[in-house]
């Protein structure tokens, strides 16, 4: 079973920041937090990952709570191309490489 | 373009038949994963190979099998097909299959079983 909880859907206006929340209250100390997204009719694509500290890359930022029980993916300026299903995934040392996808959050971006 | 290729893009077949899906990983990636995406089950991990050896197994049916060849391409074989096997099948590859490894997904093969 997926160990994360995300809202089913969210909506954002174009060019506004978007904060996508994820709860993972049973996270263990060695679990990495990964975010992937799936654009319509495409395979999933990597967005960002982190362990304890906040992370930034060209696509997004990842804010991780101090107790690591939740995290937030931040898209600084949503574009129409960001409309996708966003998956928050924990990767643990027991499972290793495979990604365990939950239902994710479907993000709609309004022009 | 992720660099992962999958063939064919679409496959339509009948119940009871057998099909083979093919995946070519990104250059230099040693690990290959197969995932199934259906409307009711979402994205589910099937199996992982690393440098020709099976590394992890997920919700893969006994009717399904896979292998990774010396040139690192992989094939997923689905036999005795049922209507419920209709789904999108994605292949992903990564450098070494580790916890922080990025997985790059192919465009998928859409299988329709009639």
Strands B19-24 vs B5-7: parallel, antiparallel or unpaired? antiparallel
Q: Compute the average pLDDT of residues B86-92.
A: 97
Which positions in chain B touch A87 (Cβ < 8 Å)? 43
Half-sphere exposure of A103 (CA within 13 A, CB side): 8
Half-sphere exposure of B42 (CA within 13 A, CB side): 13
User: What pLDDT is recorded for position B33?
Assistant: 96
The answer to whether the peptide bond before residue B8 is cis (omega within 30 degrees of 0) is yes
- What is chain A's mean pLDDT, rounded? 92
Tell me the C-alpha distance between A57 and B102, whole Å: 14
Interface test with B, best of A52, A62, A87, A97 (most B CBs within 10 A): A97
Residue percentage of chain B with pLDDT more than 70: 100
Query: Residue B24, SS3?
Result: strand
Measured between beta carbons, the chain A residues lying within 8 angstroms of B99 are: 30, 32, 91-93, 96-97
Q: Point out the least confidently predicted range of A4-8, A71-75, A88-92, B96-100.
A: B96-100
> Scanning every residue of chain B, which has its alpha carbon at the shortest distance from the alpha carbon of A44?
B105
pLDDT value for B100: 79
Contact B42 A102 (CB under 8 A): yes
Question: Could you give the CA distance from residue B22 to residue B74 in angstroms, rounded to a whole number?
Answer: 6
To the nearest whole Å, the CA of A33 is away from the closest chain B CA by: 9
The answer to whether B93 and B26 have CB atoms below 8 angstroms apart is yes
SS3 content of chain B, % helix, strand, coil (to 5): 5, 55, 45
Residue B7 pLDDT greater than 70, yes or no? yes
Q: Are A77 and B13 in contact (CB under 8 A)?
A: no
* pLDDT tens-place string over residues B61-73: 999 999 999 999 9
Q: What is the DSSP letter of B46?
A: E
Quote the CA–CA distance of B102 and A77 in Å, as a whole number.
Answer: 24
**Beta carbons of A44 and B55 less than 8 Å apart:** no
Q: How confident is the model at residue B30 (pLDDT cuts 50, 70, 90)?
A: very high
Computed over every residue of chain B, the mean pLDDT equals: 95
Across the interface, which of A36, A42, A49 has its CB nearest the CB of B100?
A49
CB contact under 8 A, B99 and A92: yes
- Please report which confidence band the pLDDT of residue B79 belongs to, taking 50, 70 and 90 as the band edges: very high
Longest distance between any two alpha carbons in chain B, whole Å: 40
| Distance, CA of B103 to chain centre | 13
Q: Distance between CA atoms of B105 and A43, rounded to whole angstroms? A: 6
CB contact set of B58 (below 8 Å; sequence gap of 6+): A98, B44, B45, B46, B47, B48
Between strands B31-38 and B42-50, the pairing is antiparallel
| pLDDT for the residue numbered A95 | 58
- pLDDT tops 70 at residue A1: no
The CA-atom distances, in angstroms, between B112 and each of A56, A93, A111, B31, B88 are 40, 35, 35, 27, 9
- Strands (E) across B14-108 are located at 19-24, 31-38, 42-50, 53-57, 64-68, 74-78, 87-94, 104-105
Instruction: Enter the DSSP assignment of B27.
Output: T
Show which residues on chain B lie within 8 Å of chain A, measured between beta carbons.
2, 4, 31, 33, 35, 42-45, 48, 50, 55-56, 58, 90, 92, 94, 97-108
Whether residue A2 is predicted with pLDDT greater than 60 in this model: the reply is no
């Amino acid at each position: 079973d997926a160990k994360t909880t995300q809202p089913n859907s969210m909506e954002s206006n174009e060019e506004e920041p978007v904060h996508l929340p994820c709860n993972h209250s049973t996270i263990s100390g060695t679990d990495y937090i990964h975010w992937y997204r799936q654009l319509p009719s495409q395979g999933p694509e990597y967005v960002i990952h982190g362990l304890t500290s906040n992370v930034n890359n060209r696509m997004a930022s990842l804010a991780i709570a101090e107790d690591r029980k939740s995290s937030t993916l931040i898209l600084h300026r949503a574009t129409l191309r960001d409309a996708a299903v966003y998956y928050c995934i924990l990767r643990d040392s027991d499972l290793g490489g495979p990604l365990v996808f939950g239902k994710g959050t479907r993000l709609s971006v309004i022009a | 373009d992720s660099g992962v290729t999958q063939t064919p893009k679409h496959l339509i077949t009948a119940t009871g038949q057998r099909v083979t899906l093919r995946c070519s990983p990104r250059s230099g990636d040693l690990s290959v994963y197969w995932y199934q995406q259906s409307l009711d089950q979402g994205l589910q991990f099937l199996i992982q190979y690393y440098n020709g050896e099976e590394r992890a197994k997920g919700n893969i049916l006994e009717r399904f099998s896979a292998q990774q060849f010396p040139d690192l391409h992989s094939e997923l074989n689905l036999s005795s097909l049922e209507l419920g096997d209709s789904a999108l099948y994605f292949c992903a590859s990564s450098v070494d299959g580790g916890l922080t490894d990025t997985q790059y997904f192919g465009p998928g093969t859409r299988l329709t079983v009639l």
